[in-house]
Amino acid sequence: MSAADQRREESERAGGQPAGGDPRLDALVQRLPPRLAGTVDYLMQPSSRWVRLPSGALLIVGGVLSFLPVLGVWMLPLGLALLAEDVPALRASRSRALDWIERRKPHWFDPSPPKNDQT
C-alpha cells in the first residue's frame, strides 16, 4: 500500500469522507501520478489549511502569469480547487465544474489506474 493510500484511508477514517469532501474530486486525485496524488491528498486534509491557502493563491498567480515560460494555465484551476476547500463561494463553482466533467468525461472518474501508473 502506498503512502498516499495510507493517508487517504486515515483521513477517511477520521472524517468519514474523502479529504476533499467530494468523492469525485478524490477520484480525480487518485488518477494523478502517485507522488503528485500524495501531495494533493496532503494539501486537501483539514490540518493543512495554512499550507493550502498560500499554495492555492500562488497557483492562481502562476496561472495568471501563464505567458511566462515555466508557468502554465493548468495552475489556475488547481489553485481554485485548493482554495474552494476554505472559501464557501468557490465550493459551488467547484461542484458545478465537477458536474460538467462528470457529464463530458465520465471515464475520468473510473477507478481503473491511469495508463502512466507505474504500480
- Note the pLDDT tens digit of each residue in 5-18: 555 555 454 444 55
The model's pTM is 0.68
CA distance 75 to 62: 6
In the prediction, which pLDDT does 68 show? 80
Q: For residue 41, which phi and psi values (nearest 5 degrees)? A: -60, -45
- CB contact burial 58-89 (16+ within 10 A = b; e otherwise): ebbebbeeeeeeebeeebbebbbbbbbbeeee
Cell numbers describing residue 106: 465520465
What residue segments make up the domains of the chain, in order of their start?
3-109
Q: What's the rounded mean pLDDT across residues 31-55? A: 88
- Note the pLDDT tens digit of each residue in 53-89: 999 999 899 888 888 887 788 888 888 888 998 888 8
